[in-house]
Structure formats: C-alpha cells, structure tokens
C-alpha cells in the first residue's frame, strides 16, 4: 500500500491523487500506476477542472488502476491490487477482466508477514516528489532497532541519482555550489582541502566518538550471559564446542544488552553520515571540479604480519582498521560523488601511482619518498604541512589526471602559502583532537 501511496504523489492532479500497485502471489511488485493524462498530453496545458464537458479532466485522465494494468508485462492471473482510493466501476471491470483476484484499498496500514504496520509519509515532501520522477525498481520492508524497539519502514529502490535538497520557499538548491577546482588529500582520519579561496585541514566526522571501550564492556557482558545460560556449548577449558548444534538460549538480560549494542552502532552510523553530508556540502561551496587520489581502503584494513625476534612466532596486527571503521573516508567520497552526479559531473580520481603527490616537490621537480611520520615538507626558508601540500598538488593535476602541471603550481603557490599559514595558525590556536595532533 505504501508503494501505491508513493506512486500517487507523481500525479499532477491538483485535487485527487490516486496510486495503484499490483503484486503477485509472493507479494513481488508487478506494476504501479497513478492517475494522469494520456501519453503525449502536456499536464500543464490540459484542463484539470471537474466539469463534465471538454473543459473538464474526466475525458482525458487515465485512472491509476488502468495505468497499472497497462504497464504490466506479465499475466496478472491471481494477483492483488492495492489502491489508495476505492476503484470506480470502469476500473473494477478492467481489474476483473485482467485476472486480478483481490482489491485492497487504503486504510493507512500495510500488511506484511502477519503484521499491520502504519504507513507514515510526510505531507508536502518535495524531495520525495522529485525523487519519484525516476522509475521505482522495487520495494522492501526495512527493520531498524531504535532504542531497543523494532521500527519498520517501506524502502523504495529508485533508478537514477538522488536529488539535492530544495528550499521550499525559493525552489532553489539549499546549499550554494561554487565553480572552481578543489584538491582533496584524504587519509584514514583527516582530510586536506585546497581551493582558490580556502586551505583546510579537517578531521573526518569529528562528532563520531570512539566507542571501543563501551562496545567491549557490552560484548563481555553478553559473553558472560551466554556462557551462564549455555554451559553445554562450552568445554571445561572455556573454549567453544565447534560441533555442538544445540540451539543457543538467549536470556532476557542478554537480549537487552544486545539491543544496547545495536543502539550504540546505530547512533554512530547516523552521526557519521550526517557529518559526512555536512562536509560534502561545504566542499561544494568551494568548487564543483573536485579531484582526489585513488585510495585502496580495503588494503588499509588488511592485517600485516611480522616475525617476533624473541619467540620466532608470526605476529599479526591491523594497520588502520578501527580508524576506517569510525571515520569511513570512502563513505564521504561516495556522498560527494553522488551530489556531483546530480550536477552532471563526477568526482575526478587522480592516478596515485603516477602523480605521487606525497613525494613530489614542484620547486625541485623531484620525488622523495617519506616515512608516514614525516608530516612537513622542507622548502628551506619555510615548512609546508604534508597533507595540505598534497591537496595543493592534486588541485593542479592536468586533465589526464596522471601528471602535475608544474607551471600552475608556480602560478598559484604564493596564494596557497598565505592560506596555508592562516590555517596552520588556526590549528595551533585550537585544542586539537588526537587525529589532528598526529598530522601536525
């Protein structure tokens, strides 16, 4: 029913918006429809009045039920149709003739797996109205745990690119987008930004707190509860019996702790996504031609191994697993690329192996490999922060995205140096987080 309701929002009828959704015996969506003018008629020019003559809409509008039947590409025998308004007699005849066996009209609830779930959709949601101009691929019921309780949502998977948020008063895009080139040097926890007007070194998702300690406490609590209620699943030594197929028993105390852990993860996820969206909007105010080095974040999560000098055993350790889990730099790039696609462009990914921004010096025209703990580039009379200089070089990469334009670097370096010094002064006068202290 929620799909039918969302489909109705596509109707241009100013008075009555109706949607329909046809599903098969397995509740898979077959077709959707809404009431609208016949193909080839301009919705603006055609009449939407309620008179019964040529000046009324009734001679030209095709009802949602009939549109859904006509859009179907398979036999509808045995299917159901969900409609937001009780069908008229003509539509009922078409429904019967098509083989549909059941009609369900709107009562503000959706029936799913024996559950009766209220459908809540915001009125005057212009963002949804724009998004629904694209084709709905399929619908699914999404379950989320919020504060220990299950909440169900009807989620629509739609083709195309998500739209930008619109100001309801002016009808313009909410966040201002500037023209210009922006270079990004993204790390596991920080982001260097360089544009014509600003140079910034920022922590990724600074609002995200490190939850490792709280998470560990809850996990240990769950483990103690699980061992107490399932003694037959463990050996006397405390190890788990691998071939024991007896069903796990979860106590009420265990389930409550598990819900607390899920809520902790959910809050982190929402805060991180909100923070990345804010940062992406800020970057777009600096320019819409955005360049960034390609990064293999999966490789950065892989465990490294070394041999202990004392015992001769192999010791495995992670590189940046927890940092990537908390800060999710790849998510920021995905959000930024999605916003750029709405502007008919995309994030430009520079070839890391040929550009080598972290090693290049445009003054000497040479490459010098540096250790990870070397955070400053020495230019003799002054020092330049490594991440900010890399973002400056990335900003001045040629159109082939494989080489640095040295002439542009010389032309823009003086301005960059002024903005760089302003940013370093700001950071030195600020109480830095651990992530920023590691790069300054």
- Secondary-structure breakdown of the chain: helix, strand, coil percentages, each rounded to the nearest 5: 35, 25, 40
* Burial class (CB within 10 angstroms; exposed 0-12, middle 13-18, buried 19+) of 28: exposed
Q: For residues 280 and 273, is the Cβ–Cβ distance under 8 A?
A: no
Q: For residues 331 and 273, is the Cβ–Cβ distance under 8 A?
A: yes
- The HSE-up count of residue 221 (CA atoms within 13 Å, CB side) is 17
Cα–Cα distance measured from residue 277 to residue 339, given in angstroms and rounded to the nearest whole number: 10
Catalytic residue among 65, 203, 293, 423: 65
In sequence order, what are the beta bridge partners of 202? 191
Q: For residues 32 and 84, is the Cβ–Cβ distance under 8 A?
A: no
Phi/psi of residue 387, nearest 5 degrees: -70, -40
Residue 330 tokens read as: 């790849």
Q: For residues 224 and 234, is the Cβ–Cβ distance under 8 A?
A: no
Q: For residues 272 and 205, is the Cβ–Cβ distance under 8 A?
A: yes
Cα–Cα distance measured from residue 143 to residue 154, given in angstroms and rounded to the nearest whole number: 9
**65 labelled catalytic:** yes
User: Left if phi > 0, otherwise alpha if psi is -120 to 50, otherwise beta: which for 99?
Assistant: left
Three-state secondary-structure class, residue 242: coil
* Residues labelled as active-site residues: 65
């Amino acid at each position: 029913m929620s799909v039918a309701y969302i489909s109705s929002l596509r109707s241009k009828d100013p008075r009555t918006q109706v949607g329909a959704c046809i599903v098969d015996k397995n509740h898979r969506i077959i077709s959707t429809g809404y009431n609208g003018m016949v193909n080839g008629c301009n919705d603006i020019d055609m009449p939407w009045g309620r008179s019964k003559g040529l000046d009324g809409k009734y001679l030209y509008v095709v009802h949602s039920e009939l549109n859904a039947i006509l859009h179907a590409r398979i036999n509808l025998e045995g299917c159901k149709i969900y409609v937001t308004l009780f069908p008229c007699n003509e539509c009922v005849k078409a429904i019967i003739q098509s083989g549909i066996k059941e009609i369900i009209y709107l009562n503000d609830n959706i029936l799913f797996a024996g559950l009766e779930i209220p459908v809540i959709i915001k009125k005057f949601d212009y963002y949804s109205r724009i998004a629904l101009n694209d084709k709905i691929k399929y619908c699914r019921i999404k379950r989320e745990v919020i504060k220990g309780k299950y909440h169900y949502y009807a989620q629509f998977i739609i083709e195309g690119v998500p739209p930008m948020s619109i100001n309801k008063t002016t009808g313009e895009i909410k966040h201002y987008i500037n023209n210009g080139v922006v270079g990004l040097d993204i790390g596991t926890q920080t982001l260097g930004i360089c544009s014509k007007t600003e140079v910034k070194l920022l922590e990724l998702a600074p609002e995200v707190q490190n939850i490792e300690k709280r998470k560990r406490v809850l996990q240990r609590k769950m483990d103690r509860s699980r061992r107490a209620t399932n003694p037959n699943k463990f050996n006397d030594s405390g190890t788990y019996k691998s071939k024991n197929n007896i069903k796990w028993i979860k106590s009420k105390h265990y389930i409550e702790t598990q819900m607390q852990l899920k809520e902790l993860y959910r809050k982190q996820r929402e805060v991180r996504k909100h923070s990345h969206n804010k940062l992406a909007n800020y970057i777009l105010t600096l320019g819409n031609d955005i360049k960034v080095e390609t990064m293999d974040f999966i490789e950065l999560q892989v465990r490294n191994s070394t041999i202990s000098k004392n015992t001769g055993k192999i010791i495995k350790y992670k590189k940046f697993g927890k940092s990537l889990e908390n800060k999710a730099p790849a998510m920021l790039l995905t959000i930024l690329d999605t916003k750029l696609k709405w502007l008919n462009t995309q994030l430009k990914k520079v070839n890391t192996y040929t550009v080598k921004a972290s090693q290049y010096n445009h003054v000497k025209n040479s490459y010098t490999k540096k250790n990870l703990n070397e955070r400053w580039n020495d230019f003799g009379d002054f020092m330049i922060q490594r991440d900010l200089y890399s973002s400056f070089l990335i900003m001045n990469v040629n159109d082939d995205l494989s080489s640095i334009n040295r002439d542009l670097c010389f032309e823009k370096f003086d301005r960059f140096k002024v903005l760089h010094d302003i940013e370093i002064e700001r950071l030195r006068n600020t109480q830095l987080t651990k992530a920023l202290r590691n790069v300054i």
